[in-house]
Amino acid sequence: MSPRIKIIRKVLNPPVIKGFKPYGPDTDKLKQEPVLLLYEEYEALRLCDYDLLNHHMASVAMGVSRPTFTRIYAHARQKIAQAFVEGTQISIEGGKVYFDSDWYCCESCGCYFNNPERETGVEECPLCGSGKISRFDYDSAGNNDDYGQCSDLCYCPQCGFEKEHQRGVQCNQEVCPHCKGELRRKRNINNW
Amino acid sequence: MKIAITSTGNTLDSTIDQRFGRCEYFVIFDKESHAVEFLPNPYKNAEEGAGPASVELIANRHVSKIISGEFGIKIKSLLDSLKIQLIVIKDPQKKISELIGLLSH
């Protein structure tokens, strides 16, 4: 039986460097073979330890399942630890990845297009050749279904005042305009 | 440079197909020689996997851009790794001849 096909991992930002070299007096006596850190392992490390996302959020960003993400992350740490302890080089290369491309919008013909060649910027619309192009943010255009829209309410337990919950704002940080009490979250049952 | 357009028919007066994987025809337009080729889509009635199969069909023709109305969720990652550009046109009334006219700017 053939093994399961690996899901292709999404890498948002490719690394700025190709690897790391150890330095010190005895580095030439150590073994020369570098540790191969895959792109997806670099990305896992970046999301988790640099951007401080949790494994679930990071797995969504890379387009893999949470257990797969944790496995990639564990491999990344093992390889880096091995390189540190044994004093070998780290080479960042390979892996089943693709580099995510950004969306653009043309104002003259109204089309949307992406730019798979990250290194070269876009100056004109590939369809009509017009220079009137702008970055198009898919998530901010109201298409972000990953997190779902929330129709919860905040309510005041003292006077019963209610207002629509604002995402990203904690309810207990908001103050009731009538009795100056802390607000609480009221779940909208229809959403569950 | 070759560009693929999804089409509802096999004439230049047909309109753009809003689906990518299950479109009726693919139009392969060569920007240098202005040659136009109509390819019937063998996957238009596929139960599943029409998108990735169509990508393979198109990629074998060394196309560098694809114009369609909408792309499925599996397509962007495939095309990004193949370095093929996606162009999305949300106007279902656009004719193939108009698009070719725009492309030959």
Q: Which of B67, B80, B90 sits opposite A98 (nearest CB)?
A: B80
Interchain CB contact of A101 with B (< 8 Å) = yes
Average pLDDT over residues A10-23: 86
Q: Is the ipTM of this complex over 0.90?
A: no
Residues of B in contact with A129 (CB under 8 A): 105
DSSP E strands, chain A: 9-11, 19-20, 35-37, 90-92, 97-99, 103-106, 112-114, 133-136, 153-155, 162-164, 184-186
| pLDDT tens-digit series, residues B47-84 | 788 888 888 888 888 888 898 888 887 788 888 888 88
Number of structural domains found in chain B? 1
Nearest to B88 among A112, A116, A117 (CB): A112
Please give the residue range of the domain that contains residue B33: 2-103
CATH code of the domain covering residue B34: 3.30.420.130
The reply to whether B59 touches chain A by the CB within 8 Å rule is: no
Please report, for residues A71, A73, A128, A138, the alpha-carbon distance to residue A104 in angstroms, rounded to integers and kept in the order given.
34, 32, 14, 10
Note the pLDDT tens digit of each residue in A39-95. Answer: 999 999 999 999 899 999 999 988 899 999 999 999 999 999 999 998 889 999 888
Tens digit of pLDDT for each residue in A121-169?
777 787 777 777 777 776 555 444 434 345 667 778 788 777 776 666 6
pLDDT digit string (tens) for A28-46?
777 778 899 999 999 999 9
